[in-house]
Amino acid sequence: MNAPDARTRPANPQGILYVGMDLGTSRTSIAASNGVRETVASYVGYPKDVISKKALKKEVLFGDEALANRLALNLYRPLAGGVIQHSDAAPDSAEAKAYLKAAQELIRHAVGLARPQADELVYAVIGCPAQCSLKNKSAILEAARPVVDSVMIVSEPFTVAYGIDQLADCLVIDIGAGTTDLCRMRGAMPTAEDQLTNNFAGDHVDRKLEELLKKKCVGASFSIHAIRELKERFSSVGDTKEPVWFEVPVAGKPTRFEVGAELREACRSIVPPMVDAIHQLIASYDPDFQSRLKNRVLLGGGGSQMGGLREMLETEMKSRLGEGRVTRVDEPTYGGANGALKIAHDMPPEFWEKLS
């Protein structure tokens, strides 16, 4: 199953730039109708004082650049659980305002990466968690509206399915940093009953791994950023004899620890909730079509690249449901953005005019 490549699409001749955006907790990816595709780590940083502003020569930093200079910045990760942090709080609270501003800056930066022309309208489709609340969606809309001319919020696993034309009798699982989102496709727009979201995703693995490493690496100093880097390089749920080395300082001296078992345990912690959700969505589906659903499970999102995950899910499904076939989408980084762009293209002009 090949995902559509945004780079093959011609620019829109009517002065409209369509943008599909996967606004993620960990990474934000965009695919635009002019062929541009970009991804950026979802970090926004502001210089702490006049010295840091002078040293960095910027008012705001994004992505890996912000992360690399975080000691000189007030650093924000504006998304958590796939939604803007503190969006459930009172809108006039200091935290809500700060994170909304950071989210708006991130969206503005992502749209800027698409290189819109000065006279182009920007119409954007933004993916969000499957069970994102109305209040959370409103916060995303509030952050996006000053940046784009028209915007639509869509369930993230639905965008993945739409992008690869898997619209009937398949179950899409989008594993991000903040949430794991599941959506069963029945050949029509999915309802609330067709979708599930849980928080057992990449950030949960990070927290679990941090807990395990504090016990294993006695006396060591390490940050959550080092843990995320370790996970992204070596994450696997499968049994392997290959050692995984974690080098961190102990009393200032670099020290190596073998942490393969701890990494596997942390990665495996997201599997049981995922299998439970798969079981729930399949068991409540029309019984005449359950077999089709079991054998068309699609993994997307950054977490889908975890070693051995596809095979473990198939094994668990066969044990609990009698059968199961799991396929990984070809482009986990851009699957959601590609699908969002395709949705944007397929919406009639009058639809966008109503949203403007």
Q: What is the DSSP string of 104-140?
A: HHHHHHHHHHT---TT-EEEEEEEE-TT--HHHHHHH
- DSSP E strands in the chain: the ranges are 16-23, 27-32, 37-41, 44-47, 61-62, 73-76, 79-80, 83-84, 121-128, 150-155, 168-175, 180-186, 195-198, 245-250, 253-258, 297-300, 326-328
Instruction: Express each pLDDT in 304-348 by its tens digit.
Output: 999 999 999 999 999 999 999 999 999 999 999 999 999 999 998
Instruction: Give the pLDDT band (50/70/90) at residue 350.
Output: confident
Find where tokens 């920007």 sit: 122
Query: 3 pLDDT exceeds 60?
Result: no
The backbone torsions φ and ψ at residue 152, rounded to the nearest 5 degrees and listed phi first, read: -135, 135
What's at 53, amino acid-wise? K
Instruction: Express each pLDDT in 207-218 by its tens digit.
Output: 999 999 999 999
Q: What is the pLDDT of residue 89?
A: 75
**Across 211-240, average pLDDT:** 95
CA 37, chain centre distance (Å): 16
- DSSP result, 262-284: HHHHHHHTTHHHHHHHHHHHHHT
pTM of the complete model:
0.90
d(CA 333, CA 163) in angstroms, rounded, equals: 13
Q: What is the pLDDT of residue 93?
A: 87
Domains and CATH numbers, the chain: 6-163+333-355 (3.30.420.40), 202-268 (3.30.420.40)
